[in-house]
Amino acid sequence: MKLRDAPSACPSLWRCLPCPPAELRLDLVLSSGQTFRWWESSPGAWTGVLGGRVWTLRQERDRLWYTVYGDEDDDDDDRDGRPAEAAKPDGAETDRVLRDYFQLDVGLPALYRAWGAADPLFRKVADDFPGVRVLRQDPVECLLSFICTSNNHISRITAMIERLCRAFGRRLCRLDTRPFHAFPSLSALTGADAEARLRALGFGYRAKFVSGSARAIAEGLGAEGLRQLRTVPYAEARRVLCALPGVGAKVADCVCLMALDKAEAVPVDTHVWRIARQRYGMALGGRSLTARAHQEIGDFFRGLWGPRAGWAQAVLFCADLRQGQQPAGSRDRAGGGRGKGSHEEEPP
């Protein structure tokens, strides 16, 4: 099956969920720096890896359509060069995975109305950017991915994560000529040569932090212990994360918000710091983004937007990202690239 095929071309292999654009806009959510595993495989269709499987998603009016591809037989990688075929989904399970990933049980329009009532600036931009919601990602993948965001931009981060998965992850399938791999396991990233291999892949100083955090988790909390941070208070989860190699306040808040159910977490990079100062008039002194500034900005937005402040910030972040792009034609910008400001933070 070709990626360009529309849902109607193969109806028995596609399923849909009710999901109006006010609840979810794939083009905004999947390209704005929350995740780095999706690409626009054809106009309006997004293909990527979720939960160890390859998916293609697309929206048509008030429906979210999806298909899931079967795993490639590892013992027969080169069978006549044929691409993977789409697998008939186990509907109840795949529906659950998507609903959980996009947190579709959270009603977005009511939140937009509440944020707009509290904040005229939010109200001014929200109508042009509906359906921006926070993803609920695997904690290990989210953590190790965001370690790579320090002093980086979206298109480069995406390429780094692709190289990481190809080098260390299990191959899942091939669509047309493109191979897809699962995100690496902790054990794959804790070998003696992991840091050197990551440096060879262009990770630079981040190599020691990716391998170091993978090792610290494997030898400490474990993947399940990291996931269990979903049940502890935000401050405690943040403290645990900040003790890991290469994890500062911004990375910890990204993981808290996008993987650990801490909707009040407000990730602050230099870009968000600038928004707080220039648009909201926050008088934060100094020339660097200090721990105190992180706390003050987060507290300000939590006071303004309430218990889902991180979700509201995601809307403004996405709006600012799109408004700062050049006209269509740049693949970098079509994928969400914005220069260093997209995920800029001082190296640990």
Amino acid at 87: A
Quick one: which of 148, 159, 140 has its CA closest to 208? 148
Query: How many residues are given for the chain?
Result: 348
Let me know if 171 is exposed, middle or buried by CB neighbors in 10 A (0-12, 13-18, 19+).
Answer: middle
User: CA-to-CA distance for 5 and 119, rounded, in angstroms?
Assistant: 42
Distant-in-sequence, close-in-space partners of 124: CB < 8 Å, separation ≥ 6: none
DSSP 42-69: ETTEEEEEETTEEEEEEEETTEEEEEEE
Residues with catalytic function: 250
Let me know if 19 is exposed, middle or buried by CB neighbors in 10 A (0-12, 13-18, 19+).
Answer: buried
